[in-house]
Amino acid sequence: MKKYFSILAAAVLGLGLLPARAQFDSKADDVMSRVFGDKLNFSADMETQVKMMPKQDNVTMTGKIFFANGNSRSEMDMTSMKGSQMTPQVIAQMKTMGMDKTISISRADEKVIYMIYPGLQAYARMDLADTKKTATNDFKVETTKLGEETVDGHHCDKTQYTVNNTRTGQRLLMTSWNATDLKNIPIKIEQSAWSSTDSYAGTSTTMHFLNISLAKPDASLFEPPSDYKKYDSIQTLMQSAMMKKMGGLVQPPVARPPGE
């Protein structure tokens, strides 16, 4: 039972971090598509720092990022995560549960996000069509030039984008460092969101892109594996993974002869 509760703790942590990330990514993708459209075509190594709210816990991780035709794919190695809650024990348990590798695919054309878990051979699809449809006419984008800076030896134009949703009161702020010698590709992006009703309001993400390749990523990278099991939500997928682990911990009752 002690092992079961340890696995449960790891799953709860995953359930807390990943929906928050997906929720934040859905807002950030709106800004990315509005600011850059389908002009981003590159791949890179990525260093990410996420400041979670309301507990203000900092989480850092490494991975890879791919952009093509307005769509994006990020690959994260959860074993590289560092934060106050990410102890070696939790990392080991997430690996045991098949949660150590995650892939997030954002399809601007389909208006969906796929959260993929190679260790579970499963993925969850989150439909963002309704959210984007109702918010499209309510967005107001303000652009502010902040000057020029050098990042990783690249001359960059530093620009701030403020996106306000006049209907909901939500606001997302993005600062981008665009490398002029790399077709104005952003090599560093800081994003943060605010809302009076969003439980993750104030969550911020800093993405730093390294070893950039200007070759356009293959279209197959933005499709979920056809042989993986599909779930309607991350919660359902995680619950299924937990039940499989619990099944190995619960012993069936011993059959006894009648009368004993």
pLDDT at 20: 46
d(Cα 64, Cα 120) in Å, to the nearest integer? 20
pLDDT at 199: 47
pLDDT at 238: 78
Measured between alpha carbons, how far is residue 154 from residues 22, 64, 147, 174 in Å? 30, 20, 14, 20
Fold adopted by 2-247: outer membrane lipoprotein receptor (LolB), chain A (2.50.20)
pLDDT at 182: 92
Q: Which helix (H) or strand (E) holds 26?
A: helix 2-36
Nearest to 239 by CA among 15, 9, 6, 13: 15
Residue 67's DSSP bridge partners are 42, 72
Q: How many residues does the chain have?
A: 260
Per-residue pLDDT of the chain (260 residues; tens, 9 = 90+): 444 334 444 444 444 444 444 444 444 555 566 667 667 889 999 998 877 665 556 778 888 999 988 888 989 887 777 776 667 777 777 777 777 888 989 888 888 889 899 988 999 988 865 444 444 556 677 889 999 999 999 999 999 988 777 776 777 788 999 999 998 889 999 887 655 444 445 677 888 999 999 999 999 999 999 999 999 887 788 778 777 766 644 444 444 444 55
Q: Which two tokens stand for residue 137?
A: 């006419």
d(Cα 105, Cα 49) in Å, to the nearest integer? 19
